[in-house]
Chain A
Amino acid sequence: QSALTQPPSASGSPGQSVTISCTGASSDVGGYNLVSWYQQHPGKAPKLMIYEVSKRPSGVPDRFSGSKSGNTASLTVSGLQAEDEADYYCSSYVGSNSVVFGGGTKVTVL
C-alpha cells in the first residue's frame, strides 16, 4: 500500500488560513470515510486532530476542520497561531485491518 501524497510544505501568516491536501485512491481515501489528521511537533508524538474526515476530538480547537472530495482529503487551519507550526500527517483506512499515512506537510507560521 503506497503512502498518501501530501505537499511537503505550507505556510501562512498569523490569523490567516492554510489548507493541506492529502491525495490517495479509491481504495483508501476515496473508499472510506475514515480519514484522520495528526499534528506532530518536533520530538513529540503525533496528536489526533481530525477523525472520520471531519470530526474533532474533545479539546481540539474548532479552527481545525477536515473535508473530503473524491480521492482527496483536506485539512484547513483557520486563524493560524504560532503554536500551529508543526508537521501534519493524514491517514486513511485501506481495508483488511490496515491504515496508511501520508508523507507529511510542514506548516510554517510566517
Chain B
Amino acid sequence: EVQLLESGGALVQPGGSLRLSCAASGFIFSSNAMSWVRQAPGKGPEWVSAINAGGTGAYYADSVKGRFTISRDNSKNTLYLQMSSLRAEDAAVYYCAKGWVTRNYFDCWGQGTLVTVAS
C-alpha cells in the first residue's frame, strides 16, 4: 500500500523557518517525482513545489520561489521542504503528493501537516 506521512508542521513566527518531511513507503520512491501542495483553511489547494525522481530538477510556485527549497533523500525514501522567511499567507496544511507536475497527475497524497505562522 502506498503511504505518505508528513511531519514537521508547527507554529512559527513570521520570518521564521521550518523543515517539513514526508516519509514514503509502498512504492519505488526513487522512480517517482514528488510535489508539495498546500491548502489554507477553507481554500482550494495550491501547488507549491515539485522535484524529479533523481532530485536533479526542482520547480517552485512564484509565491514561494527564493524562500522554499525542495529536496529528497532517495536512500531514506524521504521528501523535504525547507521553508524560510515565512509569512502569514504561508499558513496552511502542507501535503506531499506522488506524481509529476507536468502531467498534472498526483495519484497519492499524505494526510498533511499543519503550518501556522503567527506571532
List residues of chain A with CB under 8 Å of any chain B CB.
Answer: 1, 3, 32, 34-36, 38, 44-48, 51-52, 57, 89, 91-93, 97-104
- Report B83 CB to chain A, min CB distance, Å: 18
Within the assembled complex, what's the spacing in Å between the Cα atoms of A18 and B95? Answer: 28
Cβ-defined contact, A93 with B104, below 8 A: yes
Nearest 7 interchain pairs by C-beta: A45-B109, A97-B59, A93-B104, A34-B104, A101-B44, A101-B45, A103-B44
> Among the listed A1, A35, A102, which residue makes an inter-chain contact with B104, where contact means beta carbons less than 8 Å apart?
A35
Chain A residues whose CB sits within 8 angstroms of the CB of B111 once the complex forms: 44-45
Contact A57 B104, beta carbon cutoff 8 Å: no
Q: Can you add 8 more A-B contacts, CB < 8 Å, to A89-B45, A93-B104, A100-B47?
A: A1-B62, A3-B44, A48-B106, A91-B47, A92-B104, A97-B59, A97-B101, A98-B61
Measured CA separation A92–B8 after assembly (Å): 29
Asked if A36 and B47 make an inter-chain contact with CB atoms under 8 angstroms apart, the answer reads no
B56 within 8 A of A: no
Q: How far is the CA of A103 from the CA of B59 in the complex (A)?
A: 23
